[in-house]
Structure 1
Amino acid sequence: MSILYTAKTTTTGGRNGQSRSDDNRLDVKLSVPGSNGAGTNPEQLFAAGWSACFIGAIGRAAQEQGVTLPADLSVAAEVDLGSDPEQGFFLQARLNVSLPGLEHAVAQALVDRAHQICPYSKATRGNIQAVVSAQ
């Protein structure tokens, strides 16, 4: 096993604060979801990270299966922050993958394989409800 990269950030102020990476390439203001604050929120950042990583995993799956991906491949990620009286706060997610020009069965096979190899999918498996689908 080898570590390929370590992301380092420092956040102050929680959901109404700021987060900055050690190399200053990421510097974002944070706001509570649904507020009028000027910043983004952790759920949006998580959705962006997961969808970007998932595209990489689709690329790996396509390579394994000998499939050429369309140039306009996209992943629309939806991450819900919810609350339940019994379990408290929770996350759930949907990844809707657009693979124009591919047969649905081929596209879904790529999405299913990507969900098995994507590090974000692995990290959340069994911890949150996640639905992935080819559109």
Structure 2
Amino acid sequence: MAPVAIQPLYTATATANGGRNGRVRSDNGTLDMALSMPKSLGGAEATGATNPEQLFAAGYSACFESALRLVAGQMKKQLKDAHVTAKVTIGKTQAGGFGLAVALHGKLPGLSQGEADDLMHAAHKVCPYSLATKDNIEVKLSSEVA
């Protein structure tokens, strides 16, 4: 399937140096972080450092919550204090390489469980991260309303 063409609205730029044990910095300097390999992957997991999976989880959760708020507004549903947690897992594939899996969990107080589930699925259809990962990695959705 051919990639979907977009009309650019914003481009983020970041440069990594040193890979998983290096540093990543955005072009405007707002993001400037040390990277460290997690212990579970054989690294030292340095204090104060992050890793690509944490950065992806942060971006996905923020983008997904924005999509959730968009679809909630379209469906005339009030989101009081919504939270979205993304868990990004790296692991070995059957082909011998590495792959990712994501679990997105929405905490949506004030809604019924059915409404929360519907919003999560609707957001998954419009979130740019969800669209970018569609049919590429496993993404599991869950929600709670309490």
Give the TM-score normalised by the residue count of structure 2.
0.87
1:1-135 matches, within 5 Å, as 1-34=6-39, 35-38=44-47, 39-70=49-80, 72-135=81-144
Taking the aligned partners of 2:54 and 2:120, their CA distance within structure 1 comes to 21
Alpha-carbon deviations, 1:2-28, whole Å to 9, x = none?
Answer: 312100111100000001111001101
**Matches of 1:68 and 1:100, distance apart in 2:** 10
How large is the RMSD of aligned CA atoms in angstroms? 1.2
- 1:46-94 Cα deviation digits (max 9, x unpaired): 0000000001000110111011111x21011111000135241010010
2:29 is paired with a residue of what secondary structure? Answer: coil
CA distance in 1, matches of 2:22, 2:102: 24
Aligned length: 134
SS of alignment partner, residue 115 of structure 2: helix
- Return the alpha-carbon distance in structure 1 between the equivalents of residues 120 and 17 of structure 2: 36
Could you tell me which amino acid in structure 1 is paired with residue 124 of structure 2?
H
Unaligned regions of 5+ residues in structure 1, if any? none
